[in-house]
Amino acid sequence: MASTDPAFHRELEAIRLLSVQVLRNLERTAAEVRSAQARQQPVSSAVLETMLSDPAITAIRRHGEELSTLQRKLDDQRDTLKRKENQALRTGFAFWLSGLALGWLVGLLFAWRTSDRILKPLLQLEQLMKTPGEDVNTALQSSTIKNAPMEIGSLMRSFLKLVTEGQELTAQLKSLASTDGLTAVGNRRSFDEGLSEEWRRGLRSGQPLSLLLLDVDHFKLYNDLYGHVQGDACLRTVADVIRSQARRSSDLVCRIGGEEFAVLLPETPLAEATKLAHDILAALDAMALVHGSSPVVGWVTASIGVACAIPQRDESASLLMERADQALYVRKGRLGRHGVTVAEPSADVSVELKTEDAQDSSVPLR
């Protein structure tokens, strides 16, 4: 730093010039001393005093002091600069640490916000995907989804649409799997599942379970005469008539064969089931669908077998089906069509049957 300070250089230049002057004065004094010695004369004290009192020497001393002062100042400045440099390094390191800590805090904040606004909605979406039966609409109204970024909300709405369409499609498939495509009543699968379920329910409740089996009389002759298209229309009409009489939400109407229908009546005693069977026959007679090939009457008629049981743990649901089917068989085979035959409550399907035709006549069977 001293080499670049102008005052320091000025003092050095002054000392150099004064040193030259002192050197010249010393040379003159030395010449005078040698001359006095050559003459073998003592050296005059004035010469020595003149040399010692040379102003240049005094000036050199003063400039030397100035130079020393400047050097101390420069040293002080260098020490001050060094301290500032160290302080700057410490300050810079502190700033670096502060920046690092701030960056770490910002990272934590970002991670927390990311977790709160992105990860949580995504985890909720994953949970909904695993259990799509949950209420997706309710999930969309939660604060987790509402506070999520727009993209997450859009993804959730798309998922809601997908789930809704999937649920609708599942419902349609279930309906198709359990509905007869021609008559829109239940099919055989629906009947089998319903019979098993109601039998188990009856085991718990101890309530009676009744079953009607209905067969359209001489339907093959109807088809041969009018064709399959008209035959299909006839079956649809019969199904509508049955549904018009079995109106309870718990009543299950199914087509279980070509022209055979079943009506499952939970918590229904035998008397009520028998009355419903007669109501169905009466409603079908009232429709008066022309049947030109029927050997019974001139319109479409039906035969019905009725059975009732209180479910027992040592019995199966198939027993009820067998007894209703046996009653229908007796009606069609031994008693003539267009009537109602009732299987009296018993575990034995070969028990005495009570039969009633469309005019409510009744005779015991042996």
Q: Do the beta carbons of residue 322 and residue 336 sit within 8 Å?
A: no
Q: Do the beta carbons of residue 328 and residue 341 sit within 8 Å?
A: yes
Tell me the pairing of strands 339-343 and 302-309. parallel
d(CA 220, CA 295): 12
Element (H, E) at 96: helix 55-114
Show which residues are catalytic.
Answer: 259
The four Cα atoms 349, 350, 351, 353 give a dihedral, to 10 degrees, of 90
Note the pLDDT of residue 347: 40
Cα 148 to its chain centre, rounded Å, is: 13
Q: Which two tokens stand for residue 357?
A: 């035709």
Note the pLDDT of residue 171: 74
Element (H, E) at 262: strand 260-266
Residue range 65-109, pLDDT digits in tens: 776 777 777 788 888 888 888 888 888 878 888 888 888 787 777
Please tell me the number of Cα atoms within 13 Å of 226 on its side-chain side: 21
Q: Do the beta carbons of residue 273 and residue 309 sit within 8 Å?
A: no
d(CA 47, CA 54): 11
Of the chain, the percentage scoring pLDDT greater than 70 comes to: 71
Mean pLDDT, all residues of the chain: 80
For 179, which DSSP code? B
Note the pLDDT of residue 360: 39
pLDDT tier for residue 135 given thresholds of 50, 70 and 90 = low
Closest to 190 (Cα-Cα) out of 243, 273, 262, 239: 262
Residue range 5-29, pLDDT digits in tens: 677 677 677 767 767 776 777 777 7
Cβ neighbours for 365, distance < 8 A, ≥ 6 positions apart: 330, 334, 335, 352, 353, 354, 355
